[in-house]
Amino acid sequence: MLDRIRIVLIGTSHPGNIGAAARAMKTMGLSQLAVVAPRCDPRDGEAFARSSGAEDILEAMQQFETLEAAVTDCTLVVGASARSRTLPWPLCSPRELSASLPGELSGSDTGLALVFGREDVGLSNSELQRCHRHVHIPTSEHYSSLNLAAAVQVLAYECRQAWLTTTPVTSPEPFGVEWDNPLASHADTERLFEHLERTLINIGFHDPDNPRQLMARLRRLLLRSRMDSMELNILRGILTRIERHGDPNGNDHPR
Amino acid sequence: MLDRIRIVLIGTSHPGNIGAAARAMKTMGLSQLAVVAPRCDPRDGEAFARSSGAEDILEAMQQFETLEAAVTDCTLVVGASARSRTLPWPLCSPRELSASLPGELSGSDTGLALVFGREDVGLSNSELQRCHRHVHIPTSEHYSSLNLAAAVQVLAYECRQAWLTTTPVTSPEPFGVEWDNPLASHADTERLFEHLERTLINIGFHDPDNPRQLMARLRRLLLRSRMDSMELNILRGILTRIERHGDPNGNDHPR
């Protein structure tokens, strides 16, 4: 289970924090580290110094230009978020995340990405809106300045707790019942959102110059439901049909 | 409760670790820090640098010559221990410690000391034997090199969890966060499904004479997400637009 958990660090400024995150991961048995558009050399000497024996994780670390690319094959994307947002998003505590993991990661093609933002400004709204859920580490109301590696440590610890409590699971999460289709991948889900946005523009429902929160709300709605692959295909089929329907040259409704 | 918990660091070598421990404590609402026979200047500049805003904890920090002196007034002394000992001692997990705290700290003169050893060799047998219990943070069998501040972070987090569970929570159902719109009613939801089915028939996607599981799957998808009223209205708006879009007499796309 732990080998299906990827720690994704976005826009990290200090290589020492990447090294300390690698160390934190390794103490808890995690191994997959990805950095996205780091604002430093992620394999700087300081990273290796702070990793303190977790060099193997730094050496196997993957680097990506975008969050998209880093989580393409993941079925559950969870963003670590300190701030409460203007648009509320499904939120869980580290404990709740931990409790859900044995079920979430029981399927054969499942994968979790835990996404951490920049030291100074965290994750952007756009990044947060690519997540199924947010996880908030409950910090003091008077001082919430959790170091990046410390946040990784706490969530990695909760992941390990989940793994330790895993007895052979028959518990068929995430929906409390054995499901009939595999969950949709992140990449397929993003293609659906692109298709959806295109279609809404074409039919004149969505004005990209005045987007308000439309796409964010539709993302929130569909990400919350954890689409399976067949559901996703049905929605894509509907969108394709809508496009042809309104197109006088379409094949389905020639006129 | 959190003000009755003292973090005790014995024989620390690196002032940066003392500062990072102070930061970890403060994020979780702990304030009592004590150092015992430090092997460095515990108020070195590096300690303040790594404390990152938790200077108040460093300034109020107490210093003692012996563990004895540091825990005199505590009713429960728990040593953080990485190693298993030749002489077995009562041992708990961080979770078990957390679960016991509301009871342990309910009396008026109660106090907990959480004792952490040296970076290199941990706590001595003599120190461990001054503890009521040991707490072991479960680390990977392949790599147990938990940084001192990371160990403080994990146990401080568990202390805060204990405190949060004793504090009345305004249950933030159903998404773990206070939501911005009321959930859709059953009746409105059913009207949406009627509208959806009508639209899918109109655009030729759905054949009511050969329905297969289409509507059931769409129901399952949307019901699972617990639509709020604004999301439902957006979907109704999209359906209305789709109908007009394909209708040559529609108002939105006259042709």
**Is B178 within a domain?**
no
Q: Are residues B140 and B68 in the same domain?
A: yes
Q: Are residues A75 and A145 in the same domain?
A: yes
**Is B53 within a domain?**
yes
pLDDT of residue B248: 58
Could you tell me the CA-to-CA distances from B62 to A39, A190, B34, B70, B246 in Å, in that order? 39, 54, 5, 8, 76
Q: Are residues A236 and A110 in the same domain?
A: no
pLDDT of residue A249: 58
Given B133, B166, B199, the domain boundary residue is B166
Alpha-carbon gap, residue A5 to A33, rounded angstroms: 9
B111-127: average pLDDT: 92
Answer whether A237 sits within 8 Å of B140, measured CB to CB: no
Per-residue pLDDT of B120-145, as tens digits, reads 999 998 898 888 888 999 999 899 88
CATH code where residue A202 lies: 1.10.8.590
Window 69-98 of B, Cβ < 8 Å to A: 94-95
Per-residue pLDDT of A123-174, as tens digits, reads 998 899 888 899 999 999 999 889 999 999 999 999 999 998 874 444 444 5
Question: Which of B160, B226, B245 is closest, CB to CB, to A203?
Answer: B245
Q: Is B120 on the interface with A (CB under 8 A)?
A: no
Answer with the residue of higher pLDDT: B159 or B247.
Answer: B159
Interface probe, candidates B146, B170, B197, B219, chain A, greatest A C-beta count within 10 A: B146
Instruction: Identify all chain B residues contacting A205, using CB atoms and an 8 Å cutoff.
Output: 237-238, 241
CATH code where residue A149 lies: 3.40.1280.10
Per-residue pLDDT of B31-80, as tens digits, reads 999 999 999 999 999 999 999 989 999 999 999 999 989 998 888 889 99
Domain region containing A107: 2-164
Question: Which of A24, A95, A139 is closest, CB to CB, to B150?
Answer: A24
Instruction: Identify all chain A residues contacting B253, using CB atoms and an 8 Å cutoff.
Output: 204, 246
**How many Å is the maximal CA-CA distance in chain A?**
70
**Is A241 within a domain?**
yes
Q: Find tokens 């979780």 and name the residue.
A: B28
B186-204: average pLDDT: 92
Alpha-carbon gap, residue A24 to A30, rounded angstroms: 9
B94-122: average pLDDT: 89
Alpha-carbon gap, residue B253 to B164, rounded angstroms: 56
Q: How close B179 gets to chain A, by Cα (Å)?
A: 6
Band (pLDDT 50/70/90 cuts) for residue B249 is low
**Is B180 within a domain?**
no
pLDDT of residue A83: 66
Window 10-29 of B, Cβ < 8 Å to A: 20, 23-24, 26-29
Band (pLDDT 50/70/90 cuts) for residue B224 is confident
**Is B16 within a domain?**
yes
Alpha-carbon gap, residue B14 to B153, rounded angstroms: 17
Alpha-carbon gap, residue B109 to B101, rounded angstroms: 14
Sign of CA dihedral A130, A134, A140, A141: positive
A205-216: average pLDDT: 92
Answer whether B238 sits within 8 Å of A27, measured CB to CB: no
Sheet containing strand B112-116, edge to edge, reads: B62-64, B32-36, B5-10, B112-116, B76-80, B133-135, B91-92
Q: Are residues A28 and A94 in the same domain?
A: yes
Q: Are residues A38 and A145 in the same domain?
A: yes
A56-70: average pLDDT: 96
Answer whether A27 sits within 8 Å of B176, measured CB to CB: no
Band (pLDDT 50/70/90 cuts) for residue B255 is very low
Q: Are residues A122 and A231 in the same domain?
A: no
Q: Are residues B113 and B83 in the same domain?
A: yes
Average pLDDT, chain A: 89
Nearest CA in chain A to B52: A145
Structurally, how many domains does chain B consist of? 2
Q: Are residues A240 and A160 in the same domain?
A: no
Strands annotated E in chain A: 5-10, 32-36, 62-64, 76-80, 91-92, 112-116, 133-135
Answer whether A150 sits within 8 Å of B146, measured CB to CB: no
**Is A254 within a domain?**
no
Q: Is A53 on the interface with B (CB under 8 A)?
A: yes
Question: Which of A54, A90, A237 is closest, CB to CB, to B143?
Answer: A54
Band (pLDDT 50/70/90 cuts) for residue A30 is very high
Is the ipTM value over 0.85, yes or no?
no
Query: Mean pLDDT: which of A70-79, A172-181, B79-88 is highest?
Result: A70-79
Per-residue pLDDT of B149-166, as tens digits, reads 999 999 999 999 999 987
Answer whether A245 sits within 8 Å of B139, measured CB to CB: no
**Is B57 within a domain?**
yes
Q: How close A225 gets to chain B, by Cα (Å)?
A: 4
pLDDT of residue A70: 96
**Is it the case that residue A44 has pLDDT exceeding 50?**
yes
Q: What is the distance, to the nearest Å, from the Cα of residue B111 to the centroid of all Cα atoms in its chain?
A: 23
Question: Which of A92, A140, A237 is closest, CB to CB, to B29?
Answer: A140
**Is it the case that residue B252 has pLDDT exceeding 60?**
no
**Is it the case that residue B246 has pLDDT exceeding 90?**
no
Q: Are residues A118 and A197 in the same domain?
A: no
Per-residue pLDDT of B53-66, as tens digits, reads 899 999 999 999 99
Question: Which of A92, A253, A255 is closest, CB to CB, to B176?
Answer: A92
Q: What token pair was written down for A33?
A: 């580290």
**Is it the case that residue A98 has pLDDT exceeding 90?**
yes
Q: Are residues A109 and A60 in the same domain?
A: yes
Q: Are residues B208 and B127 in the same domain?
A: no
